[in-house]
């Protein structure tokens, strides 16, 4: 017996009913840029250059790409987006996707932020699961060494053990709360474990 689903991903009227015409036009513009390799590459280059030169472009980024793909910079800032999506029966994914920390303290701080997403999702049907990036919890150079099966120094061995402990802590809390957790995909150049 085949079960019929009431969900139809080609029904754009339902999928985008929470957005205004202005928001839809803006989203279309953003996706047009992102889907054009030349424009996307050029825009990324200009943004990186603008940030490096300390030009006042953060507001432009926040009101375009960030606004479209992110609900906020913090969990409290995301609450309005969570509430809006929930009114239309759309779940929110809390994903603290910071990367680039280079110290154990930085990795621990990232882990604590990820744990806060689980605290927020616990028992909250508006947030059906959470996500984290493992590269926010460990130095990518260390992962590269492990992937290459290099002999690790005692410090590197301890750092990799701390990475495992961070992931274990996140997954244990997710399990205890009954909140599904997913690991965010990494860029293709990042080594994969066999």
pLDDT digits (tens, 9 = 90+) for 47-95: 888 888 888 888 887 777 777 778 888 899 999 989 988 998 888 888 8
State the pLDDT at residue 194.
41
Structure tokens at 64: 């375009």
User: Do residues 139 and 189 both lie within one domain?
Assistant: yes
pLDDT band at 156 (very low <50, low <70, confident <90, very high): very high
- φ and ψ at 6, to 5 degrees? -85, -5
CA distance 44 to 34: 10
Residues 80 and 98 in one domain: yes
CA gap 19, 38 in Å, rounded: 28
In a domain, 90, yes or no: yes
Lowest mean pLDDT among 52-61, 100-109, 119-128, 181-190: 181-190
What 3-state class would DSSP assign to 130? strand
Q: Where are the beta strands (DSSP E) in the chain?
A: 93-96, 129-132, 181-183
Least confident of 5-9, 34-38, 50-54, 159-163: 5-9
Is the same domain home to 127 and 81?
yes
Residue 64, pLDDT score = 77
110-121 pLDDT tens trace: 999 999 999 999
For residue 193, which phi and psi values (nearest 5 degrees)?
Answer: -75, 140
* Torsion angle of the four alpha carbons 44, 50, 55, 56, in this order, in degrees rounded to the nearest 10: 0
Distances (CA, A) of 180 to 88, 117, 168: 21, 12, 14
Could you tell me if 123 and 168 lie in one domain? yes
Write down the pLDDT at residue 7.
61
Q: Are 114 and 96 in contact (CB under 8 A)?
A: yes
Please give the structure tokens belonging to residue 109.
Answer: 């701080």
Q: Which two tokens stand for residue 16?
A: 């985008």
Judge if 129 and 178 occupy the same domain: yes
pTM of the predicted model, to two decimals?
Answer: 0.76
Q: 85 and 173, same structural domain?
A: yes
Check residue 92 and report its DSSP letter.
-
Question: pLDDT category, 178, cuts 50, 70, 90?
Answer: very high
Q: pLDDT at position 43, please?
A: 83
Q: Are residues 128 and 148 in the same domain?
A: yes
Mean pLDDT of the chain: 85
Residue 114's CB is within 10 A of a number of other CB atoms, namely 27
As for how many domains the chain has, the answer is 2
The domain in which residue 22 lies consists of: 12-69
Q: Is 84 in the same domain as 65?
A: no
pLDDT at residue 45, as a whole number: 87
Q: Running DSSP on this structure, what letter comes out for residue 176?
A: H
Give pLDDT, residue 193.
Answer: 46
Which has the higher per-residue pLDDT, 172 or 32?
172
Task: Say yes or no: 128 and 187 in one domain.
Answer: yes
């Amino acid at each position: 017996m085949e079960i019929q689903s009431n969900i139809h991903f080609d029904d754009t009227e339902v999928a985008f009913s929470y957005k205004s015409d202005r928001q839809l036009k803006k989203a279309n513009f953003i996706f047009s840029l992102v889907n054009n390799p030349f424009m996307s590459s050029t825009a990324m280059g200009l943004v990186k250059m603008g940030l490096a030169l300390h030009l006042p472009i953060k507001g432009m980024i926040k009101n375009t790409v960030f606004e479209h793909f992110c609900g906020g910079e913090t969990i409290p800032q995301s609450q309005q987006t969570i509430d809006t999506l929930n009114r239309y029966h759309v779940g929110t994914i809390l994903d603290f996707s910071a990367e680039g920390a280079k110290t154990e303290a930085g990795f621990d701080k990232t882990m604590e932020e990820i744990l806060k997403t689980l605290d927020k999702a616990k028992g909250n049907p508006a947030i059906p699961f959470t996500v984290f990036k493992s590269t926010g919890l460990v130095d990518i150079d260390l992962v590269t060494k492990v992937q290459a099966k290099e002999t690790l120094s005692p410090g590197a061995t301890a750092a990799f053990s701390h990475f495992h402990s961070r992931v274990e802590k996140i997954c244990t809390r997710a399990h205890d709360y009954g909140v599904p957790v997913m690991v965010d995909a990494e860029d293709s150049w990042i080594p994969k474990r066999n």
